[in-house]
Amino acid sequence: MKRNLAMAIFFIIAAVQFAASISLVPEGNRLFQEWFDTGYQLTASESNHLLLARVLSFPLAFWVWLYNPANISPFFWYASVIANAILWGVLILWAVKFLNSCLGIRNRK
């Protein structure tokens, strides 16, 4: 994969993952807190929302969920989401490169 294309794909993946995390994780955290505090039975769509928020926040931003949200500074939360988005971008590019090498696909010059 050409370097410029790889960088563009990396930034697109990281931006999409960051935007999805910023929009889904706070609501997922609210649903989790409501379930944990009151025993509220989540609907199917709320359960799916919570599952997607957990998947998007894994592995780095997930650890923020272990703390009381009142004790987490916004800087720490945003930093963990940004680092998580960068990690997702790197891992997806690595997976594509690995699959290309396994399938025998070579870079075009």
Tell me the longest C-alpha to C-alpha distance in the chain.
Answer: 59
Candidates 6, 24, 10; CA nearest to 100 is: 6
Residues whose CB is less than 8 angstroms from the CB of residue 2 and which lie 6 or more positions away in sequence, other chains included: 107, 108
Per the CB < 8 A criterion, the answer to whether 24 and 81 are in contact is no
pLDDT at 109 over 70: no
pLDDT reported for residue 4: 84
Residue 15 or 102, more confident: 15
pTM greater than 0.75 (yes/no): yes
